[in-house]
Structure 1
C-alpha cells in the first residue's frame, strides 16, 4: 500500500482525501492479503506529515488555475469539495478566490465573446443564454449582469475604461 501511495503522490498533484479514496479503491480492486484491514488513513496522514501532500497548496493552485480559465467562486468551491480539500484550507484561500472573482468573470466573458467583448448585437434571448453560461461557470449574478450590460470596449484587458465598475 505504501508503494502505491508513494507512486500516486509522485505522479499526481493530490489531496489527503483523494489519496485515501485512491488507496481504498485499490484495496477493493486488488484485495488485501495482510492481517486486518490496512490503515489507509494513517498511511495518508504519514505522507502528509512527510510533506509530500499539502492540501492548502493544492487548493491555492487549483483555485488560481480555475480563475485563469474564467471559473467563478462557486465552481472553485465545487472543485475543491470534489478534491476533498478540508473546510479550513478552503476558508484560508477564500479571500484569494474573492479577489480573483472579477478578473475571472472578465476572462470568461472575453473567452466566450460576451458582454463588452462581443459584437454588441446580442438580443434578449442571447443575453439570457450568456447569463446562464456565466452562472454555470460559477459567477455571482450581480457581477454577471453588470458584465453583460456593459458596452463593447468598456472593459479591455480587465481594466475599467470609465464605463462603470463591473
Structure 2
C-alpha cells in the first residue's frame, strides 16, 4: 500500500499547444481512432493539466485534430470500415456495430458504407456467433428446454442480431448437415 500515491499528491502538469500536438501524435501512432475519440482524449488531458497557452484549450484540441486529419492520420470512414469488419468477424450483429460507431463519434455519412457491409454479412456473423457459443446446429446435444432457448435468443439479441436470424439458426437441430450447409451457402451469398 506504500506504493500508491494519494490523488491530492498529483500536481497538475503544465500543458501547451505543442505538448498537446505531441500527445495527439503519440495517440494516433498507438491506436486506430476516430476524430471524436482523439478530441475526447485531448480534452481529458487538458482537464487533467494546467493550460499555459494564450489560445483557448478546446480550440487547440480542434486544431490538433484538424492537423491530424490533414496529415491523414485520422480517417473516420476508414476507421468505421475497420471497426465494423472486426466486429462482424467476432460475430456481432448490425445493431451492435451501429451502436459502437455512434459511441466512437462516427458521423452517419462516414459510417453508412460500413453499416451496409455489416448488414450484408449479418448471416455470416450470426453463424459465427452460434458456432463460437455452440448454439443451435453447433450444440453438442439437442435440448427442448424453453428457458435455455430464451437465454440463447437473448444472447443473440445482446450481440446485435435480429430476432429472425436468431430463431432461424436456433431452429436447426444439432448435427443436421443439410440445413447447416444451406445456412453456410446463404451466408456466403450475403
TM-score (norm 1): 0.91
Q: Alignment RMSD, CA only?
A: 1.6
Q: CA deviation at 1:25?
A: 0.3
Q: CA deviation at 1:94?
A: 2.0
Q: Which residue does the alignment assign to 1:51?
A: 72
User: What are the residue-to-residue correspondences of 1:1-80 with 2, within 5 Å?
Assistant: 1-38=20-57, 39-80=60-101
Distance 1:122 1:48, change over 3 A: farther
Q: Which shifted more, 9-18 or 150-159?
A: 150-159
- Structure 1 gap segments, 5+ residues each: 162-166
Q: Which residue does the alignment assign to 1:132?
A: 154
Q: CA deviation at 1:65?
A: 0.8
Task: Give CA deviations for 1:83-136 in whole Å, capped at 9, x if unaligned.
Answer: 111111111222201111000000110111111111222411110110000000
Q: In 1, Cα distance between the equivalents of 2:26 and 2:37? A: 14
Q: Which shifted more, 88-97 or 19-28?
A: 88-97
Q: In 2, Cα distance between the equivalents of 1:158 and 1:28? A: 52
Q: CA deviation at 1:156?
A: 5.1
Give the conservation status (yes or no) of the 8 Å contact 2:34–2:105: yes
Aligned residues: 161
- Structure 2 gap segments, 5+ residues each: 1-19
Q: Look at both structures and tell me which one has the larger radius of gyration over its CA atoms.
A: 2
Distance 1:114 1:22, change over 3 A: same
Which of 137, 155, 164 is equivalent to 2:180? 155
